Amino acid sequence: MGSDTDTEPTRIVVKLDDLLHARRMTLTQLAERVDITLANLSILKTGKAKAIRFSTLEAICRELQCQPGDLLGYEGEGETAQDA
């Protein structure tokens, strides 16, 4: 399972930029409020994360006052996240 998914990029989209902009918050400020390093948040924001813990998801949703579905999207083949 692991080696297959490594070769192609994930279809999961992280919409952290939009949420931060809407809440007028910087990544640094978010990192200070949740117990996540700036480095990890950066990895998440740039779409390089391979997995996210529920605890991380919970902390972000708490601070940005959003639902997981606001933060994460799925882009099927030929779709964009907005279409779904």
Partner 1 sequence: MDTAKKDPLLMTAKVLTSIVRIGLVLGMIALGIGIVGVVIASLGWLPTSISDHIAIESDGVVTAANLWLVLLPLLGAGIMVALSYDFVTRLAKMIDTVGEGDPFTIANAGRLTRMAWLALAIELVSFVTSILGDWVERRFDPGEVEFNSEFSLTGIVLALVLFILARVFREGARMRDELEGTV
C-alpha distances in Å from residue 50, one per residue of 3, 10, 65, 82 = 12, 8, 24, 22
Smaller CB separation from partner 1, 19 or 36: 36
Residue 43 CB, shortest distance to partner 1, in Å, is 6
Smaller CB separation from partner 1, 7 or 51: 51
Residues that bind partner 1 (CB under 8 A): 2, 36, 40-41, 43-44, 48-53, 56
Place of tokens 């939009």: 18
Residue 52 CB, shortest distance to partner 1, in Å, is 5
Q: Rounded CA gap, 42 and 31, in Å?
A: 10
